[in-house]
Structure 1
Amino acid sequence: MLNKIIISRKLLRELDFTVIIAVVLIVLFGTMNIYSATHLRYGNTFMRNQLIWLVVGLILTYFILVFDYSIIQGYANIIYWFGIFLLILNDTIFKSTVNGASSWMKIGGFSMQPSEFAKLGMIIMLAKQLDSMDGKINNVKNFFKLAAYAALPMLLIVIQPDMGMTMVCFFIVLGIFFAAGLDLKIIGGGFMSLIALIAIVWNSSLMQDYWKNRLISFINPDAYDLGISYQLKQSQIGIGSGGIFGKGFLKGTQIAGGFIPEAHTDFIFSVVGEEWGLVGAIILLALYGIIIYKFIKIAQNSKDRFGSMICVGVVSTMLFSILQNIGMTIGLVPITGITLSFMSYGGSSMLTGFMSLGLVLNIGMRKKKINF
């Protein structure tokens, strides 16, 4: 029994420890910033919880590495439909509204974000379908089948409405379809469809005025100075005041004063900018760059299409989340509830992040047959 949960030395030699080190460094750096944003009001509670999620995440990653990732392909349907089931439960019975969106499921004292797990299930399902189709994505029947699998979770997320996660899912699908060789004309049509969907949702009862103002406030923050753009303005002040080297750990006045709402989750980069400055931001981006580069290499060297497409989906998730999260804290893109991978506080995003990490590293470990 013990042999079944111990990774052989030959496989361990194929494991990319650089990625693991980079991820752990990001989590520890994030935990420091979470502590800085919360310690005056909550002590070390959030820091302790985040460190627990780090340990749980690493254990989960290890167990994912033990088994050949090809086994997961046989359970893709179960994983995908379980994610859909969670979304339906969340949209009907167990929904809990936070910041205008019912994207959290609350059962007793436990809360989770089902869309995080459904997102990973969607990646696995699309990868499996592409593998079984032998990559023939431009076949009309195949394309519409893939589009249906992608559309179902996205529609259930739109209903919440969680525009941030909907955008993440769209760019996951875009990345996978592009890497699979989808005709660029169809991709262009996909963008047009997204614009049409946004227009429909925008003018529906799903979009409250609060969300509309929040999304467009980045265009002209001064017009909403005392209202909806307060978070953005304070974030820009904090990041700008950090300069090149930052004010120092626990010395951020915007953070200490509690002027930036959600500084430990969505706006964690504001803490980085104020306390660690441009240097800290560059180091963080460099660590992300290492991870993304390694993931792309693993995708290119994967022994099968299933593994390659999973890597592409995970890379698309990380790239968009990084660009969107950092962009919204400095006013380049609309404000959405997208966390910064491995940095922001939260169990659901941390666990799915480590699950994704385990899958990609598993694919990299088994890029070739190991002869015993």
Structure 2
Amino acid sequence: MLFEKLTISKRFLRELDFPMLITVLIICVFGSLNIYSASHLSYGNQFLKSQIIWIIMGFVLIYSILLIDYSLIKSYAAIIYWFGVFLLVINCIPMFQYTVNGASSWIKIGRFTMQPSEFAKVGIILMLAKELDDMEGNINNLKNFFKLTMYAVIPMALIVSQPDMGMTMVCFFTVLGIFFISGLDLKVILGGMLGLTLVVAIAWKTTLIPYYQRMRIISLFNADKYQLSFALQLTQSKIGIGSGGIFGKGFLKGTQISGGYVPESHTDFIFSVVGEEWGLVGALSLIAFYGVVIYRSINIARESKDIFGSMVCVGIVSSMLFSIFQNVGMTIGLLPITGITLPFMSYGGSSILTAFISIALILNIGMRRKKINF
């Protein structure tokens, strides 16, 4: 049975990483405050209430997943993976597509919307981890490497077709992290990076990259020229973060945010709210909290009793690291704007539930770990 009982034994509870769980809760509370600040003037507490519901559901998910031995989750990895692919295929059907900011990466049925790529990302991690465990980590065997690559490419190709370049990048660097830590020959990794660069260069010379995505990159390096058009969001974000100074303007006192000058400030640009209202101290504190989660996740990966557990942790850490780096980078003008959310901070059901599932998997692996040398 999937759930043998509905309580977690004291033996496992003693191994549960409570510091990580508490840190996640702190980030969620901080995120909810910033979501309210970014949206209360236009929407009241609508987004705040929804986010709190998602957070409560997230902790219920954590508890539910902790009840299941993760070795049993491994046996369902293929089903989870192919279900994620199925959702991505459904997302290709026009009648179910819902387009946001140029990307048809949402499924809409009635009032219900979801982002399949978020859940497919978890499926990719579980599937690659399962296969690597079955292969006993022998990734440099040509047959094994080809098999793993195909499992990565299938959902990523469907995500590219949406086109959602942000999530494609997240999946790519997640897979890259798993391949690198599992011991893939460095020459193969460098060759893959070179090949990707070539593909991007060819796509840039053709019409494969949509105009709005192309302009996001161009405006990054010509912000002054496009500050009233393609770089407007970036320009206003930088003004807000810069005006926050060291200690910020205070909760609910951000003029850029309250004035509505930063679009999507409750979702993709939530870090702009942090920078303006909480200043450098608040921004660095948030990054420090993320650091705690990542550090403890890496320790669990190192101490996992099997390859599957280690690679699941590695995949989730890779995904989280890139998402944080990309999201923060785009709000301060270091990286192009994408639709990548900030884990546990940005508003959105698909995003936050996927983040909770990811943390639940890491906590599950940590709770049932036996230290081994590898």
Residue range with higher mean Cα deviation, 193-202 or 54-63: 193-202
* 235, 245, 248: which one aligns with 2:250: 248
In 2, Cα distance between equivalents of 1:335 and 1:122: 24
Q: Distance in 2 between matches of 1:176 and 1:207?
A: 27
Number of aligned residue pairs: give it. 369
State how 1:218-367 maps to structure 2 within 5 Å: 218-367=220-369
Shift of 1:58: 0.1
| Percent of aligned pairs with the same amino acid | 66
Deviation at 1:271, TM superposition (A): 0.2
Q: Report deviation, 1:216.
A: 2.6
2:80 aligned with 1:100: no
Whole-Å separation in 1 of the counterparts to 2:169 and 2:89: 19
Q: How big is the shift at 1:217?
A: 1.4
Supply the AA of the counterpart residue of 1:296.
I
Deviation at residue 201 of structure 1 after TM alignment: 3.7
Distance, in Å, in 2 between the alignment partners of 1:293 and 1:41 is: 38
Residues 196-252 of structure 1 deviation map (CA, whole Å, 9 limit, x = unaligned): 332344345443212210123111211211110000000000000000000000000
Query: Structure 1 residues 200-209 or 352-361, which shifts more?
Result: 200-209
TM-score of the two chains, using structure 2 as the length reference? 0.97
Q: Measure, in 2, the Cα distance between the counterparts of 1:53 and 1:108.
A: 19
State the Cα distance separating 1:312 from its structure 2 match.
0.1
Give secondary structure in 1 for the equivalent of 2:5.
Answer: helix
1:34 aligns with 2:35: yes
1:176 pairs with 159, 175, 178, which one? 178
The offset of 1:192, in angstroms, is 1.4
Structure 2 runs not aligned, ≥5 long:
none
The 2-side partners of 1:321 and 1:61 are apart by: 21
Distance in 2 (CA, whole Å) between partners of 1:83 and 1:278 is 39
Query: Hey, what's the Cα distance between the residues in 1 that align with 2:68 and 2:157?
Result: 33
Unaligned stretches of 5+ residues in structure 1:
none
Give the SS at the match of 2:370. Answer: coil
Q: 1:52 is aligned with what amino acid? A: I
**Offset at residue 3 of structure 1 (A):** 6.9
Q: Counterpart of 2:36 in 1: which secondary structure? A: helix
Q: Determine the C-alpha separation between the residues in 1 that align with 2:168 and 2:341.
A: 13
TM-score, normalised relative to structure 1: 0.97
